[in-house]
Chains A and B, each alone.
Chain A
Amino acid sequence: NAGVTQTPKFQVLKTGQSMTLQCAQDMNHEYMSWYRQDPGMGLRLIHYSVGAGITDQGEVPNGYNVSRSTTEDFPLRLLSAAPSQTSVYFCASSRDFRTDTQYFGPGTRLTVL
């Protein structure tokens, strides 16, 4: 099992550019989520999904878009990058949000100039 994979590992964007962060899991988990990690702020939930075709907003959804067409993949789109989106992004998956362990990817470090 590869677990949760994320690409790219590093990315530099200019303000206004768009891009997609990829996330895939091979554990057949229904639940997937995207977080951003900023110094002193912990992990903040951006968007989450409880199954293919079902997504919802988390704590900080503005400027991001998601879709879930398959169980395995959960891409995160930045529509028009802003410097405030400079952060480390983590994708995670689990069998259940309430009781189960979340399995995290290695992260994508994004810098917006």
Chain B
Amino acid sequence: AQSVTQLGSHVSVSEGALVLLRCNYSSSVPPYLFWYVQYPNQGLQLLLKYTSAATLVKGINGFEAEFKKSETSFHLTKPSAHMSDAAEYFCAVSARGGGSYIPTFGRGTSLIVHP
């Protein structure tokens, strides 16, 4: 079975500081990995996804993530946090189940940005 673990339910940074949100996955086959963002009172939207084309993936709003097979990680980073980045972030992977792939989400990390 495949799953994802997000370390830290809350991450607090100052505006302008580095953002690092951690995601580790377990997988017996090459995974497809996703990061989604959820702004308050909204649905989720895609930040970026890894589909084996390149290990460093660039997404929207200056975010990027690096796939590291040896560490089974897909951490999300942004060099300089902005107040508008305050949101809930979810890492996701598709897991095999019932004959098809089923999306599995981490528990989420709430990013708090201080002025």
Interface residues of A (CB under 8 A from B): 4, 33, 35, 40-45, 48, 50, 56-58, 90, 92, 96-99, 101-102, 104-107
Contacts and interface: CB of A to CB of B under 8 A. Distances in A.
Contacts of A56: 98, 100
B107 A40 contact: yes
Contacts, number: 59
B105 to A, nearest CB: 4
Interface in B29-53: 32, 34, 36, 41-46, 49, 51
The 8 A-B pairs at the shortest CB distance, nearest first, are namely A104-B43, A98-B101, A42-B107, A43-B105, A98-B94, A97-B101, A104-B44, A101-B46
Interface size class of B (residues with CB under 8 A): 20 to 34
Q: Interface SS of chain B: helix, strand, loop or mixed?
A: strand
B34 A33 contact: no
Contact of B49 (A41, A43, A101): A101
A71 B51 CA distance: 26
6 contacts: A40-B9, A45-B102, A98-B32, A99-B51, A104-B45, A106-B42
Nearest to B34: A101
B63 interface: no
B106 A42 contact: yes
